[in-house]
């Protein structure tokens, strides 16, 4: 066989093997992280728990941290939250102009963590999120929020159900914003885990929040969500630390 014909056959075999390998390579999983975070506002949620008897000291530390962070460049609000049902559990929510602005405040977060270290029953669990369906440029300045109930819900679904869940959540948000006692209802999406979809709500008082929980559109959403869930529906109610 002439040498040129032999080399041509080798080239064709190599191309066929390369195409087969590409065809068999798995597609990126739904909900996989982007190579770069999206620009724009960053919504941070930090959960933690302290031991029995440490709530009062924790409240003071969180109050000071929130007040100082609100003065930083690029900050659009910090909410320090105390869980209603579990007095040892806390959270704080931060809204920043962008990720670099939040990263500039990282030393303050680290300082707070160090001060709380002796009190921890469970350390900081930090979630970085981006706005999916949001309503306001700032948090923590809602009128009529003196007796408000703040709700943080972690919606976790299987990746294949992400898009369907987003549509269900947007329908729920649109209906919820029409309710009496609604102050804020927002949908966020966790960085790197697109199928993790936090919901942030503020209701005028406990009565308004209870009415929302039993509203027909809320019950309909919960029923449709169950087959899509990858983890239990984690809804936590808080009061604000002022």
HSE-CB of 240 using CA atoms within 13 angstroms: 23
Residue 6 pLDDT: 45
Cβ proximity of 70 and 78 under 8 Å: yes
Residue 23 pLDDT: 37
Residue in 156, 136, 140 with CA at minimum distance from that of residue 70: 140
pLDDT at 32 over 50: no
pLDDT at 93 over 80: yes
Average pLDDT of the chain?
88
Look up the pTM and report it.
Answer: 0.84
CA distance 238 to 219: 21
Residue 87: count of CB within 10 angstroms of its CB: 13
Identify how many contiguous H helices and E strands the chain contains and give both numbers. Answer: 7, 8
φ/ψ of 238, rounded to 5, equals -135, 160
All domains in the chain, ordered by first residue: 42-240 (3.30.70.100)
pLDDT grade, residue 36 (50/70/90)?
low
Q: What are 169-223's pLDDT values in tens digits?
A: 999 999 999 999 999 999 999 999 999 999 999 999 999 999 999 999 999 999 9
Which H or E run contains 43? strand 42-50
Q: Which residue has the higher pLDDT, 75 or 29?
A: 75
Which H or E run contains 45? strand 42-50
**Residues of the chain with pLDDT > 70: what percent?**
84
CA 17 to chain centre: 43
- What tokens appear for 101 in the block? 């602005």
Among left, alpha and beta (phi > 0; psi -120 to 50; other), residue 49 is: beta
Residue 83 pLDDT: 98
Mean pLDDT of 135-163: 93
Q: Which residue has the higher pLDDT, 25 or 89?
A: 89
């Amino acid at each position: 066989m002439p040498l040129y014909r032999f080399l041509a056959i080798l080239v064709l075999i190599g191309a066929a093997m390369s195409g087969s390998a590409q065809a068999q390579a798995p597609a990126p999983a739904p909900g996989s992280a982007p190579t770069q975070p999206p620009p724009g506002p960053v919504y941070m949620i930090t959960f933690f728990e302290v031991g029995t008897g440490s709530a009062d000291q924790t409240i003071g530390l969180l109050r000071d941290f929130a007040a100082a962070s609100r003065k930083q460049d690029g900050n659009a609000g910090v909410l320090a939250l105390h869980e209603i049902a579990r007095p040892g559990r806390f959270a704080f929510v931060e809204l920043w102009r962008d990720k670099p602005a939040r990263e500039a405040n990282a030393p303050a977060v680290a300082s707070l963590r160090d001060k709380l270290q002796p009190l921890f029953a469970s350390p900081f669990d930090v979630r970085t999120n981006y706005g999916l369906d949001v309503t306001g440029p700032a948090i923590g300045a809602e009128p009529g929020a003196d007796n408000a109930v703040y709700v943080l819900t972690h919606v976790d679904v299987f990746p294949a159900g992400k898009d369907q869940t987003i549509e269900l959540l947007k329908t729920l948000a649109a209906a919820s914003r029409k309710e009496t006692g609604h102050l804020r209802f927002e949908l966020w999406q966790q960085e790197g885990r697109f199928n993790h979809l936090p919901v942030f709500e503020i209701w005028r008082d406990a009565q308004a929040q209870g009415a929302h929980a039993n509203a027909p559109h809320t019950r309909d959403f919960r029923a449709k969500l169950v087959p899509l869930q990858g983890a239990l529906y984690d809804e936590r109610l808080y009061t604000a630390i002022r």
